[in-house]
Amino acid sequence: MPHLRTSAIICSVKSHGEHGAVVRSLTPANGLVTGYVRGAHSRVMRPILIPSNIVQADYRARTEDQLASMTAELQLSRGPFLGEPLASAALDWVTALTAAVLPEEHSYPQLHSALSGLLDAICAAPSARGWSVALVRYELLLLSELGFGLALDKCAATGSIDDLAYISPKSATAVSAAAGALYKDRLLPLPAFLREPVTPEWEDIFDGLRVTGFFLKRHFFEDRRRDVMAARSVLVDRLKRVVA
């Protein structure tokens, strides 16, 4: 990638040296791209390099193996939402998750579209109910795109498509109420909105977050980057306070 100019969603900003930062951004066609921004902590650049902002990014590298230098022009700022505790926690979590788990420069157009829509919903919806379902679906999509999708169309034990109530934490497959009756304490809940277009209650939404959180932790954060999952805990705690 000697030269690339593209729209990009800022996902993480890590200080590097005294004045610069390594910035990871999700692009529509090139996936997650990393670049080094000089003067990242300047008065001009700080409000631009905020995770969840959309920028017009310009990447230049002398060779394929060299970390590209990056310049960025602001297209859409989400800085005003950093003062809202719930929205801020949601923006922090989804961008940190994306930066932490995606391999670099692999195209994920569905993920880019879903993340863009989710960020818009977080900032536009009058209540968390307007975007919390989209958050669960984004986490499910990310798991699927990286090869850890859940099979929720039929019971793993009987093959039945009826009365699916649980998810096996071992196989990530659905289990019917009858087949899982004796083992329900060891199974995860399967809220109906993960399988069909129904309007969930808050209890269902938190069940969905429990499911995706379990598999995200298992596949990506069991032995590393626990700080990323800590951001998710902050978000879930704030959601629970909203609906309490």
What's the rounded Cα separation, in Å, for the pair 118 and 135? Answer: 7
Same domain, 89 and 174: yes
Same domain, 26 and 102: no
Residue given tokens 């890590």 in the structure block: 14
pLDDT value of position 1: 61
Sign of CA dihedral 134, 30, 172, 93: negative
Boundary (domain end) residue, out of 42, 77, 112: 77
Same domain, 63 and 127: no
- What is the DSSP pairing of strand 54-60 with strand 31-37? unpaired
- Given a contact cutoff of 8 angstroms between Cβ atoms, the answer to whether 117 and 137 are in contact is no
Same domain, 49 and 168: no
Q: How far is CA 15 from CA 3, 36, 63, 101, in A?
A: 23, 10, 23, 19
Same domain, 207 and 122: yes
Instruction: Give the count of beta carbons closer than 10 Å to the beta carbon of residue 21.
Output: 21
Q: For residue 149, give both structure tokens.
A: 């999708």
pLDDT bin (cut points 50, 70, 90) of residue 242 is confident
CATH number at residue 62: 2.40.50.140
Helix (H, G, I), strand (E, B) or coil at 74: strand
Q: How many distinct structural domains can be found in the chain?
A: 2
Q: Which domain holds residue 166?
A: 85-243
- Given a contact cutoff of 8 angstroms between Cβ atoms, the answer to whether 21 and 42 are in contact is no
User: Which residues touch 30 (CB under 8 Å, ≥6 apart)?
Assistant: 1, 4, 6, 105, 107
Same domain, 111 and 69: no
Mean pLDDT of the chain: 94
Q: Is it the case that residue 216 has pLDDT exceeding 70? A: yes
Ramachandran category for residue 17: left, alpha or beta (phi over 0 → left; psi -120 to 50 → alpha): left
pLDDT bin (cut points 50, 70, 90) of residue 18 is confident
Same domain, 25 and 92: no
Same domain, 54 and 161: no
Same domain, 60 and 112: no
Ramachandran category for residue 105: left, alpha or beta (phi over 0 → left; psi -120 to 50 → alpha): left
Closest CA to 45 of 83, 79, 2, 4: 79
pLDDT in tens, 119-160: 999 999 878 988 999 999 999 999 999 999 999 999 999 999
Boundary (domain end) residue, out of 77, 102, 128: 77
Overall average pLDDT of the 185-193 stretch: 97
pLDDT in tens, 58-106: 999 887 778 999 999 999 999 999 999 999 999 999 999 999 999 999 9
Same domain, 71 and 109: no
CATH number at residue 114: 1.20.1440.120
Same domain, 165 and 236: yes
Boundary (domain end) residue, out of 36, 61, 77: 77
Same domain, 62 and 95: no
| One-letter amino acid for residue 141 of the chain | L
What's the rounded Cα separation, in Å, for the pair 9 and 29? Answer: 12
What's the rounded Cα separation, in Å, for the pair 143 and 122? Answer: 21
